């Protein structure tokens, strides 16, 4: 598989690769980038003749790598990839690719508009994101301002702060999914309407009061602003594709705006998406019946969104990067397949279980604690 195909009209199909389990993701990504022609290596190969690793030491054009743009899930992933390039640079100074974090809800400091070379309207003119602590304090104030009649027992300042944190989390989740609060009133049956009205009255903090306060502050919620920046970048690249290669790696597209951007990148002439650990061996019937709780569900949904079949996803070529035996990854993948008729009997060889010990836990709590360790 080569990660791309051609349609009947002769147009290039979306380009998607995967880095298999058992291969260090950032090292494989860096080695693959260095080995590609667009990184300045004319033959798309080469590297350390002894180790078989694609290094930066023999790149004929030291500026070529700087023309590559790599989108990664988080700032930590960007730092890890930088370190991987340094390991492969053979001590030679190296101009790194432009690495940008797509971000997630846990990384409030991420601001794509500061990193992306976007045209006017792609982020620079957007209002700033309201600081998380200020938002929580203002929501706490709204909760306390509801008065004693709204509560059987009015909350303390500490309780109001915790409620505000939960409201902020709900707001982020709704905005991340590009949803709204318009249909809340009709969500429950009439016999529960009285109790639901009490909940709706509390949520009016978000549906009625918070938008006015946010407008007065001249700010956007962080999730809302991130969506707008990513959406603007996707529109900009649709209108005017970048001249250099664009690689989006490691993201599963769990945020809808990010999934849209990944679709754009996969369809760029010099773009590709690299998925982490796609299970290419799962039977098609099992693949089609994946539950939302399955680790591969997000990848399956992203592939559907991009419009590419699993059989068209190629392995990312990373010269010289060793991969651990496939037995353990295959064992885990088979153990996680949907139950019922999909090769239920799991056979494991010595390679799959090497270094594995069995631990019997007397309770789910101890089991969770052992897994966390």
**How do residues 306-352 score in pLDDT, each as one tens digit?**
999 999 999 999 998 887 766 666 666 666 666 665 555 555 566 66
pLDDT at residue 44 in the model: 47
For residue 106, the model assigns a pLDDT of: 35
> Does residue 311 fall inside a structural domain?
yes
Average pLDDT over residues 142-154: 80
Question: Do 215 and 262 reside in the same domain of the chain?
Answer: no
**b or e along 264-275 (b: 16 or more beta carbons within 10 Å of the residue's beta carbon)?**
bbbbbebbbbbb
What's the Cα-to-Cα distance from 354 to each of 145, 161, 350, rounded to whole Å?
Answer: 60, 49, 6
Give yes or no: residues 37 and 100 share one domain. yes
pLDDT tens-place string over residues 9-33: 335 689 999 999 889 999 999 999 9
Residue 129, beta-bridge partner list = 220
Domain count for the chain: 2
The per-residue pLDDT for range 346-370, each reduced to its tens digit, is 555 666 677 778 889 999 999 999 8
Say if 232 falls within a structural domain: no
Q: Give Cα separations from 280 to 239, 288, 294, 333, 338 (angstroms).
A: 33, 13, 15, 10, 15
Strands across the sheet containing 246-249: 98-101, 69-72, 246-249, 271-276, 16-19, 314-315
Residues 33, 112 within the same domain:
yes
Q: Tell me if 262 is assigned to some domain.
A: yes
Provide the token pair at 237.
Answer: 């690249």
pLDDT greater than 50 at residue 253: yes
Residues of the chain with pLDDT > 70, as a percent, come to 73
Same domain, 68 and 111: yes
For residues 191 and 100, membership in a common domain is answered with no
**Tokens at 251, concatenated:** 């993201």
273 and 327 housed in the same domain: yes
Show the tokens assigned to 148.
Answer: 């004693």
Q: What is the residue-averaged pLDDT of the chain?
A: 81
- Domain presence at residue 367: no
215 in the same domain as 152: yes
Q: What is the pTM of this model?
A: 0.80
Q: Which domain holds residue 102?
A: 16-118+244-332
Same domain, 31 and 113: yes
Q: Are residues 306 and 159 in the same domain?
A: no
pLDDT at 125 over 90: no
- Examine residue 350 and state whether it is found in any structural domain, yes or no: no
Question: 160-174, 194-208, 286-300: which has the minimum mean pLDDT?
Answer: 194-208
Q: Residue 281: its pLDDT value, please? A: 85
Decide if 251 contacts 71 (C-beta within 8 A). yes
For residue 52, what are its two tokens? 């078989």
Asked if residue 355 belongs to a domain, the reply is no
> Whole-angstrom Cα distance, residue 198 to residue 149?
12
Report phi then psi at 136, rounded to 5. Answer: -65, -40
């Amino acid at each position: 598989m080569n990660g791309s195909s051609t349609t009947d009209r002769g147009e290039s199909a979306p380009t998607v690769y995967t880095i298999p389990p058992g291969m260090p993701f950032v090292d494989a990504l860096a080695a693959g980038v260095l080995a590609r022609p667009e990184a300045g290596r004319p033959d798309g190969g080469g590297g350390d003749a002894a180790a078989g690793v694609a290094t930066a030491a023999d790149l004929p054009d030291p500026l070529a790598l700087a023309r590559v743009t790599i989108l990664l899930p988080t700032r930590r992933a960007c730092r890890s990839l930088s370190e991987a390039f340094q390991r492969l640079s053979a001590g030679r100074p190296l101009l790194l690719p432009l690495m940008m974090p797509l971000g997630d809800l846990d990384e409030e400091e991420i601001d794509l508009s500061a990193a992306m070379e976007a045209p006017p309207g792609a982020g620079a003119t957007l209002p700033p994101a309201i600081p998380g602590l200020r938002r929580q304090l203002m929501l706490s104030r709204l909760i306390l301002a509801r008065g004693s009649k709204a509560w059987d027992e009015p909350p303390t300042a500490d309780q109001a702060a915790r409620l505000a944190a939960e409201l902020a989390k709900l707001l982020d989740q709704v905005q991340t999914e590009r949803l709204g609060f318009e249909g809340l009133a009709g969500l429950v049956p009439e016999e529960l309407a009285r109790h639901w009205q009490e909940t709706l009255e509390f949520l009016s903090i978000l549906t009625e009061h918070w938008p006015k306060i946010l407008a007065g502050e001249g700010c956007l919620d962080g999730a809302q602003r991130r969506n707008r920046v990513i959406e603007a970048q996707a529109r900009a690249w649709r209108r005017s594709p970048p001249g250099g290669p664009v690689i989006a790696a490691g993201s599963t597209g769990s945020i809808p705006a990010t999934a849209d951007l990944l679709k754009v990148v996969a369809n760029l002439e010099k773009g590709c998406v690299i998925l982490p650990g796609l299970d290419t061996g799962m039977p098609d019937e099992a693949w089609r019946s994946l539950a939302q709780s399955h680790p591969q569900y997000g990848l399956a949904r992203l592939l559907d969104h991009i419009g590419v079949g699993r059989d068209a996803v190629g392995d990312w070529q990373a010269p010289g990067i060793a991969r651990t035996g496939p037995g353990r990854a295959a064992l885990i993948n088979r153990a996680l397949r949907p139950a019922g008729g999909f090769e239920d009997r799991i056979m494991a060889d010595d390679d799959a279980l090497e270094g594995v010990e069995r631990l019997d836990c007397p309770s789910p709590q101890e089991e969770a604690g052992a897994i966390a360790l």
